[in-house]
């Protein structure tokens, strides 16, 4: 009977520690969720602020004001400002090709390449 009481007490202690661990883990997860919700709220506020700033910068009246301020000295392009291909200088001569490619020379020195396990077929 005494052994049974000790086993029941031990089982109760183990069950209490498991319940405590589950409660502790759930509290940590709840704190993590709250932290992520705060970060999400912060990011949404930042996105809303950037969208409002973009809408302000993108208004047609502001763009019109900037064009009038900075682009008034521009003049339309004239046809004489463009050239044609005949006005270009002649193409420089092509560079001479090296006598042999270093990698190609190594391949030629190695002999015929055989790959795979099948023997080479003889040509008829």
Whether the CB-CB separation of 67 and 73 falls below 8 Å is answered with no
Residue predicted with more confidence, 14 or 119: 14
Q: Worst-scoring range by mean pLDDT, 21-25, 37-41, 89-93?
A: 89-93
Whether the CB-CB separation of 63 and 57 falls below 8 Å is answered with no
Residue predicted with more confidence, 31 or 96: 31
pLDDT at 79: 82
User: Which pLDDT tens digit goes with each residue over 27-46?
Assistant: 999 999 999 999 999 999 99
pTM: 0.44
Compute CA 22 distance to the chain's CA centroid, rounded to the nearest angstrom. Answer: 38
Per-residue confidence at 113, pLDDT binned at 50, 70, 90?
low
Average pLDDT (85-101) is 79
* Distance of alpha carbon 93 from alpha carbon 89, whole angstroms: 12
* Distance of alpha carbon 37 from alpha carbon 30, whole angstroms: 10
* Distance of alpha carbon 45 from alpha carbon 48, whole angstroms: 5
The first and second tokens of residue 50, run together, are 């950037």
Tell me how many degrees the CA angle 89-90-91 measures, rounded to the nearest 5: 120
pLDDT at 124: 60
pLDDT at 31: 96
């Amino acid at each position: 009977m005494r052994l049974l009481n000790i086993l029941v007490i031990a089982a109760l202690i183990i069950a209490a520690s498991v319940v405590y661990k589950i409660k502790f883990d759930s509290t940590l997860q709840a704190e993590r969720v709250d932290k992520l919700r705060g970060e999400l709220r912060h990011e949404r506020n930042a996105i809303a602020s950037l969208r409002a700033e973009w809408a302000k910068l993108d208004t047609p009246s502001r763009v019109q004001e900037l064009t009038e301020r900075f682009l008034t000295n521009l003049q339309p392009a004239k046809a004489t400002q463009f050239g044609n291909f005949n006005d270009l200088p002649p193409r420089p001569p092509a560079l001479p090709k090296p006598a042999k490619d270093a990698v190609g020379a190594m391949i030629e020195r190695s002999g015929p390449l055989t790959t795979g396990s099948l023997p080479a077929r003889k040509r008829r």
